[in-house]
Amino acid sequence: MKEILIKPNSTIQETLVKLQNTSLKCLIVVNKNNNLLGTINDGDIRRAILKNAKLNFKISKYFRKKCYFIKNSKLSKINTNEKLRKLKINLIPIVDQNKKVIDYIADNKSETKFSKKINKKIETIIMAGGLGSRLKPYTNILPKPLLPFRNKTIIENVINKFTAFGLNKFIISLNYKNILIKSFFKELSPNFKVSFLEESKPLGTAGVLYKLKNKNKKYIVSNCDVILDIDYSDLIEFHEKEKFDITIVTSLQRDRIPYGVCKVKEKRLQNIIEKPEKNYLANTGLYLVNSKIFKLINKDETMSFVDLINKAAIKKMSIGVYPIPNYAWIDLGQSIDFIRK
C-alpha cells in the first residue's frame, strides 16, 4: 500500500521513481494523515514536463484534485470493474468515513487486451543498417544488432520490448553485414513476423524509408541500439489522440555544473549562480510516424531521421513530443555505456 502513496510536496523526480516501481502507472496523493487529496499518473507528469516543469518542482500543482474514490462502506454495492472500464482509469482509492486511504482497487487486464488489439495495426521498423562505428572494435566482427547484451543479442532485447505490447510485425533495414543478420533471424525462427529493407548503399537513418512512402500506415521507427521501458500502447494513444504526423520519444535529462558560474557583463561580475542545472529533452531515437512523411524523402537520398523531422517541420507538419524519465532509456550506441550495462 505504501508504495503507491505520495505526498504533494514530493518532487517530480521522486514521483517518477515511484511511478517506475509500480506497474499501475498511477499514485494516490495523500496528506500526512493519509487522507485522500487526489491522484497523479505518468501522463500528468508528462504534461508538466512539456510545460517546462523541472525535476525539483513539487507535484502539488500537477496532481488531479478531483478523482473518483469509493467509501469502504459502499464498496460492496459498486461494480468496480465496470467503473474502471467506464472511467478509463486503472486505480480507485478506497477510503474510510474520514477520507483516509485504506486500500485501492486496480485492474490492468482489460487495458492490456484492448492495447494489444490496437497495436496489431502498427508495424515496427528497426534501423539496423549502420556501421556501428561508435562500438568499434566490437563491430569489426559482428554487426551492432547481434552484439550480446543480457544473455541475448541487442536486437532481441529491443524486439522483446515491443512484443510485450502486442507489436509483432517488424521491418529491419539492413546494409552493413546484412547476410549475418538475415541468417540470424532465419535460424532464430521467431514467433513474430520479420521482413527486411535492404540498402544498396548507406542512406542514413531515414533514406531507405522512401520505399514505404505509399503504404498509408503508422510505423514505430527505432534505432537498433535503444531499449525503452515504456507503455507503447500509451504512446500510440497519445499520437493518435493528438493527430500528430510524427511523435518523438524524448528522455528527460538533467545537466548540472558542480561549480559556481559567474555571469559577466563588460568585464564586470553581475552575479554568481551556484551549481546551476538545466533540464532538457533528449531525442531517444524512437519515433511514431505516419508514413506520409516518407514522401519527403527522395529516391536514393541519404538522410538522417533528424533531417527528415526538420524537413517535416518546415512543411508545417504536426510534430509531437512524448517525454519519458531518463531511467526508462538505455542507449547502447556508446561504447562506454554498452560495457557498463
CB atoms within 10 A of CB 327: 12
CB burial class (10 A; 0-12, 13-18, 19+) of residue 119?
Answer: buried
- In tens, the pLDDT along 313-331 reads 999 999 999 988 888 899 8
Across the range 185-201, mean pLDDT stands at 87
- Sign of torsion over alpha carbons 201, 206, 207, 210: positive
- pTM, two decimal places: 0.78
The answer, yes or no, to whether residue 137 has pLDDT greater than 80, is no
> In whole angstroms, what is the distance from residue 194 CA to residue 124 CA?
10
CATH 3.90.550.10 fits 114-340, yes or no: yes
Distance of alpha carbon 13 from its chain centroid, rounded? 16
Domain limits, the chain? 2-107, 114-340
pLDDT digits (tens, 9 = 90+) for 245-277: 999 999 988 788 889 999 999 889 999 999 888
Asked if 325 and 252 touch (Cβ cutoff 8 Å), the reply is yes
Tell me the sheet residues that pair with 64.
39
pLDDT at residue 118 in the model? 57
**Could you read off the pLDDT of 92-135 as tens digits, one per residue?**
999 999 999 999 988 654 444 445 555 668 899 999 877 666 67
Q: How far apart are CA 205 and CA 171, in angstroms?
A: 14
Average pLDDT score over residue span 281-288: 94
- Angle value at C-alpha 134, between 148 and 201, nearest 5 degrees: 95
Tally of CB atoms within 10 A around 213: 15
User: CA nearest 161: which of 328, 42, 337?
Assistant: 328
Given a cut of 60, is residue 44 above it in pLDDT? yes
Going by pLDDT thresholds of 50, 70 and 90, the confidence category of residue 76 is: confident
d(CA 95, CA 110): 24
Residue where the block lists cell 524486439: 159
Model confidence at 206: pLDDT above 70: yes
Contact 304, 284 (CB under 8 A): no
For position 65, what pLDDT does the model report? Answer: 93
CATH match of 2-107 with 3.40.50.2000? no
Examine residue 258 and say whether the peptide bond preceding it is cis (omega within 30 degrees of 0): no
Q: Report the percent of the chain where pLDDT is more than 70.
A: 90
Question: What DSSP line would sit under 127-160, residue for residue?
Answer: E--S--GGGTTGGGTS-GGGSEETTEEHHHHHHH
Q: Average pLDDT, stretch 22-39? A: 89
Q: What's the pLDDT at 109?
A: 45
Which amino acid appears at position 35 of this protein?
A: N
How far lies 329's CA from each of 50, 75, 79, 246, in Å?
A: 18, 40, 38, 19
130 burial type by CB count under 10 A (0-12 exposed, 13-18 middle, 19+ buried) = buried
C-beta of residue 197 within 8 angstroms of C-beta of residue 278: no
Q: What's the pLDDT score for residue 314?
A: 96
Name, of 45-59, 174-188, 277-291, the range with top average pLDDT.
Answer: 277-291
Mean pLDDT for 191-195 is: 91
Q: Is the separation of the CB atoms in 163 and 124 below 8 Å? A: no
Handedness of CA 283, 285, 286, 287 (dihedral sign): positive
Q: What is the 3-state secondary structure (H, E, C) of 61-100?
A: HCCECCCCCEEHHHHHHCCHHHHHHHHCCCEEEEECCCCE
Instruction: Say what the pLDDT of residue 336 is.
Output: 44
Residue whose C-alpha cell reads 508528462 in the numeric block: 46
